[in-house]
Amino acid sequence: MATFQDARLKIDRAEHHIARLNTEIELLEQSDVATVEINPEFGNEVIKHDIVDRESKDSLALIAGDAFHNLKCALDYAWIETITRLAPGALGKFAKFPVYPTCNALEAALRGNGIDKAPRDLFNVVVTEIQPYAAGNYAIWPIHRLNIRDKHRLLIPTILYSSVSGIETQDNTGKVSPGGFTFGTHQEPPWYIPMPIGIKVNNKGKSSITISFNYGNEGHETIFADTLGMYSQPILGIVKRLEALV
C-alpha cells in the first residue's frame, strides 16, 4: 500500500525531472545560432535566430511527462493512504486523488464515495482547502490534465522566445545603439528581426527560450516549463495536509 513517504519520494523524483528539464532548456538556448541576412526586396538587414538542436524537443516531452506523472502519483498515493484510514469504504481498484472540472462535480463525487461522512472533516478539507478542480488549486488541474494527455499521446512542447537581448546597431552616421531587445513571440523558430533601411547590425543579440505545453481542449490552457518548479511545493503541501488528518 502506498504511503505518505512514497508520495514524498514521488515529489522528489518529479523535482529531479524538473531540474533536468531546465538543463535541457539551457542547452537549447546555447544552440541558438544568429546570422544576418539581407532582405532581397528592400535591401535592409534582417537578424535571423534559429535553434539548431530542435530535435531535442522530443526529450523535453518525455522529461515533462515524467514530471507530471510523478506529481500526480504523489497525490494518488497520499489520497489512498488517507481514505484507507478515514474512509475505507471509498477504496477500490480505481481509487485515485479526486480531480474534477467544477466544485459541484467534486462535491458530488466525494458524497457518492461517502467522503462527506468521513471523520476529521475530510470532506471540507478537500473541498474548501485543497480545492482540486479547474478554478481551484492552481497546480492540481494542469498537472491532472497534462498527465492524462501524456497517457494518450506524446506531449508537444512549443519553443518560444521570450526576448532577444543585447542587439547592437549602427546608423549611417556611425552612431551606435547598444542594448536593444525584442519582445517575445508565439512563432516557432527561426525568428526574424528586420532592421530599418540604413541600420547595420553590429551585435545580433542572444535569445532566451521558453517552452510551453498546451493542455486545454482548444489549446488555450498552457503551462510553461519554467513554472513547473513552482508546482511541487503546493503538491507537497497537500500531502502534508492529508497526512496531518490521519
* Amino acid residing at 182: T
Domain boundaries, the chain: 4-245
76-134 pLDDT per residue, tens = 999 999 999 999 999 987 899 999 999 999 999 999 999 999 999 999 999 999 999 99
The pLDDT value recorded for residue 218 is: 55
The most confident of 30-34, 55-59, 73-77, 183-187, by mean pLDDT: 73-77
What pTM was computed for the model?
A: 0.86
141-197 pLDDT per residue, tens = 999 999 988 776 778 888 877 789 999 999 999 999 988 788 777 778 899 999 999
Q: Please enumerate in sequence order all residues whose Cβ is within 8 A of that of 2, keeping only pairs 6 or more positions apart, or say none.
A: 76, 77, 80, 81
Mean pLDDT, residues 8-29 taken together:
94
d(CA 84, CA 227): 33
The pLDDT value recorded for residue 217 is: 63
For 198-233, give one letter per residue: b (16+ CB within 10 A) or e.
eeebebbbbbbbbbbbbbeeeeeeebebbebeebbe
DSSP character at residue 101: S
- Mean pLDDT for all residues in the chain: 91
CB 161 within 8 A of CB 210: yes
Q: Could you give the percent of the chain with pLDDT greater than 90?
A: 66
d(CA 125, CA 110): 12
The pLDDT value recorded for residue 193 is: 93
